[in-house]
Amino acid sequence: MDESEILRVLRDWVSDPFEEVLVDDVPVDLYDPEEDHAYLVANEDTVEKKLGRLMRLIGKVPKASIAYSGDIDELVDPLRRLGAGLLEVSPEGVEVVLEPETFDADPDIRPMSGHHDELVAVLKALGDERRIAALEILGHSEECLCKLAEILGENQPSTVYHLKKLLEVGLVTKRSEGSRTFYRLTERGERVLKVIRDLKDQLRRT
């Protein structure tokens, strides 16, 4: 699962959470104000970065946990030593693997700035018609790199370059199967594609 998918499942599991906040200047993906519980979402690609962020949170917030999709075995002991919690997240739901310790802390919580920067980054990534075309193709189904290059009329290195721009802003994700690489839309990519299609429809009407 990519981080946006983990976040979607976690959002349904936590009651009325705050999203994307700063807790004592540490970025947190989800915060439960009722339980004073900070959550960081991670998968195998992002877990090292999120563990570093978690270490900065411990002791600054009453409770902190990692919501993880992947092999949890190597995480249990390090998180237990830190006093952090661990949730195993799958498309079916959330399982509490490790309960966090409760620290005596009164954190400063405020909204995370920089959403405009993120929007600008997404718009820049969409500033080439071939990338929009790639989103449209992936809106129908997952495709391998070779098929995408063929449909776009590009060579594979050029196609990889354009897909990398979409990967960087979280619109697509990829997986390897043997010697082939497959791409598909993330949940964010699906939402952005819907906006693009709605905008195209509006432009046709004017």
Contact residues for 62 (Cβ-Cβ < 8 A; gap 6+): 35, 36, 37, 102, 103, 104, 105, 107
Q: What is the pLDDT of residues 64-78, one digit of tens each?
A: 999 999 999 999 999
Beta bridge partners of 19: 30
Q: Indicate the pLDDT class of residue 54, thresholds 50, 70 and 90.
A: very high
User: CA torsion sign, 27 to 11 to 114 to 23?
Assistant: negative
In which band, very low, low, confident or very high, does the pLDDT at 23 lie, cut at 50, 70 and 90? confident
Rounded to whole angstroms, the Cα distance separating 194 from 63 reads 37
> Residues 6 or more apart from 39 whose CB is under 8 A from it?
10, 14, 17, 28, 29, 30, 31, 32, 64, 65, 66, 67, 87
Averaged pLDDT, 176-196: 93
Number of neighbours of residue 188 by Cβ within 10 angstroms: 19
Contact 193, 141 (CB under 8 A): no
For range 8-13, the mean pLDDT: 93
Burial 126-141 (b: 16+ CB within 10 A, else e): beeebbbbbbebbeee
Residue 117's pLDDT band, with cuts at 50, 70 and 90, is low
Q: Answer whether 53's CB lies under 8 Å from 24's CB.
A: no
CA distance 101 to 54: 13
Strand pairing partners for 174?
Answer: 183
Q: What is the pLDDT of residue 108?
A: 87
Q: How far apart are CA 63 and CA 47, in angstroms?
A: 18
User: Which residue, chain included where needed, has tokens 């509490």?
Assistant: 96
Has residue 152 got a pLDDT over 70? yes
